[in-house]
Amino acid sequence: MIGLPANVRYTKHFAQQPLEAFMRGLKTLMLALSCLSAVATAAEIAPVTKTKPLPDIRQSGFIYCVSGILNTFNPQMASSGLTVDTLAAQLYDRLLDVDPYTYRLIPELAQSWEVLDGGATYVLHLRKDVPFQTTDWFKPTRKMNADDVVFSFNRMFDPNHPYHEVNGGHYPYFESLQFSDAVQSVRKLDSSTVEIRLKQPDASFLWHLATHYAPILSSEYADNLAKKGKEEDIDRLPVGTGPFMLNEYHAGQYIRLDRNDAFWKGKPRMPQVIIDLGAGGTGRLSKLLTGECDVLAYPAASQLSILRDDPRLRLTLRPGMNVAYLAFNTRKPPLDNLDVRRAIAYSINNQRLMQSIYYGTAETAASLLPRASWAYDSEAKITEYNPEKSRELLKQAGVTNLHLQLWVPTASQAYNPSPLKTAELIQADMAQVGIKVSIIPVEGRFQEARLSDMSHDMTLSGWATDSNDPDSFFRPLLSCAAIQSQTNLAHWCDPSFDSLLHKALLSQQLSQRIDDYQDAQKILEEQLPILPLASSLRLQAYRYDIKGLVLSPFGNASFAGVYREKQPEPAATNDPDAGPPTPAAEAPAVVEDKP
């Protein structure tokens, strides 16, 4: 039986709407069902049954609740979502990391590096004695070395590599950056030294090595799988050097991670972690309040008052390197008309989005770059809300009775905690200027398959990066190459824009790069392939006895340092940095889960 995309609660949604809205929703549902065959025929990750018995989770671990659909365990092959945001930091390590407090590059599997030839050659010196995980499906006979680094990158960059086409041969992040064309060679100098030579200098290169899209895989594991003819398992049964390893997986329900006792940074404090995928929206909030979840990732901003008032909970908020945006399909009439795109931008009441979706946890975006970026254009202007001007532009363009489809991912994300509600507000705003909008809820590969055929009109999306380099926003989202990699949802290609991005990469002078990126932002403001909506704070709520949980602006951090502290129930506090709690009375009753 074919199921609906996860977290799309049609029955509950329709029950609250009048008959006309119900019929519109039913039409949407039938369209979605007609497209689901693309999902059903796509390669699925088979369930992984429990490989090792573990103690009760309450005594030996914690439960992390998050929305999302898992298409692969390998971040190389993911474009965003659960694999990159949550699992990558647990299963794998990268060559470099980003300090969540200073925003600087720091060593990880590469303990040092050299930049040569003006930024065209990079020599990385690897740590020694870093073991790969020992699992039921792989027993390593050696430590991580240069062969693993060469394998991991050549698999992505070399189309003739024996593993390049395994499981589809699609590496969205690096394809959007055209790294296959940019990298001249990745070669081993000795067992602990790797040289990466580019065809020309790239000032952003090291930052891309620090993203979760660049994990180090085991070449020995790959060789073993090739001998058995089971190459596909490399992305389905993961083996990395990270603090946790896969123990059990049930699609749409949960992932159980087992501690990697041989982790090179030291044994993680918790023997196991459960990633709970089984509830969305207020269902996840209820699980946190009742203690079924210990950590709630990306709580809705509307839930903040409940979270703040409950003395059993703590809430962490941090600035995030992210942006939510509305993408226009610029290759499809009438959205290929700039006046129509501007009319839509003028019709959207962004201030209402800030109040109804983010509740003070975001700022209106004037640029694709978040304000925290070093290349942010401080002179960028937020598109004003002006319905009258919107109607005037539509009239000038000769557009009447316009009916558009808006594709909306259903899962909450760091950049948008309530995508469907956001879409409904945009739908209502555009109706005021005479544009009818049908909302199409989509998720996972279903979304990717439909967006790649360019049939959509608009897409509500966003981007969160674990890099502090502006290139990690511009090229993946709006370069010409990113159309093919399916991360450029606007299908917009401007050679002058690409030329500025290319020019910025050639310079090692920060001031020159800032000028180039600010010129690029001006092109986006003029051409409006996407409408930036918001840059959001990263939110995370957790039970008071959970300690050591780090929330990074660049994505979820490792769970290796997380532990559970036994102590009396705390008194209420709104200060996430408050000192030791004092004993409190019995916790208040659980807040009822309201529709």
Q: Where are the domains of the chain?
A: 56-73+80-92+242-312+544-595, 93-233, 322-537
Q: What burial class does residue 30 get, using C-beta atoms within 10 Å of its C-beta: 0-12 exposed, 13-18 middle, 19+ buried? A: exposed
Confidence at residue 567, expressed as pLDDT on a 0 to 100 scale: 60
Beta bridge partners, 327, equal 459, 530
Q: Which two tokens stand for residue 304?
A: 């903040």
Query: What confidence category does residue 452 fall into, taking pLDDT thresholds of 50, 70 and 90?
Result: low
- Is the peptide bond between 409 and the residue preceding it cis, with omega within 30 degrees of 0? no
Q: How confident is the model at residue 264 (pLDDT cuts 50, 70, 90)?
A: very high
Query: In the prediction, which pLDDT does 237 show?
Result: 97
Q: What is the chain's Cα-based Rg? A: 24
Nearest to 258 by CA among 542, 556, 560: 560
Mean pLDDT of all residues in 229-237: 97
Mean pLDDT of 475-502: 92
- Please, how many CA atoms are within 13 Å of residue 133, restricted to the half-sphere of its CB? 25
Residue 371 is predicted with a pLDDT of 86
Alpha-carbon dihedral sign for residues 452, 456, 457, 461: negative
Q: Is the pLDDT of residue 6 over 50?
A: no
Domain 56-73+80-92+242-312+544-595 has CATH 3.40.190.10: yes
- CATH number of the domain at 322-537, please? 3.10.105.10
Q: What is the mean pLDDT of residues 362-385?
A: 90
Q: Is the pLDDT assigned to residue 21 strictly greater than 80? A: no
Provide the residue type at 362 as one letter.
Answer: A
Report the share of the chain in percent with pLDDT over 90: 61
Q: What is the mean pLDDT of the chain?
A: 84
Sheet holding 193-198, edge to edge: 110-116, 121-126, 193-198, 183-190
Task: Write out the E strands in 465-579.
Answer: 530-543, 546-547, 551-552, 555-556, 563-564
The H or E element containing residue 448 is helix 444-452
pTM of the predicted model, to two decimals? Answer: 0.75
Q: For 413-449, what is each residue's pLDDT tens digit? A: 878 888 999 999 999 999 999 999 999 998 755 455 5
Q: Over 90: is that where the pLDDT of 350 sits?
A: yes
Pairing between β-strand 244-250 and β-strand 193-198 as defined by DSSP bridges: unpaired
Inter-residue contact 439 to 403 (CB < 8 Å): no
So what's the pLDDT on residue 455?
76
Cα distances (Å, whole numbers) of residue 274 to 53, 131, 221, 247, 293: 14, 23, 25, 10, 9
- Residue 242 to residue 522: CA distance in whole angstroms: 41
Report the CATH superfamily, name and number, of domain 93-233. Dipeptide-binding Protein; Domain 1 (3.90.76.10)
Residue 98 burial class via C-beta count within 10 angstroms: exposed 0-12, middle 13-18, buried 19 and up: buried
Q: Which amino acid is at 70?
A: L
CB–CB of 51/248 below 8 Å? yes
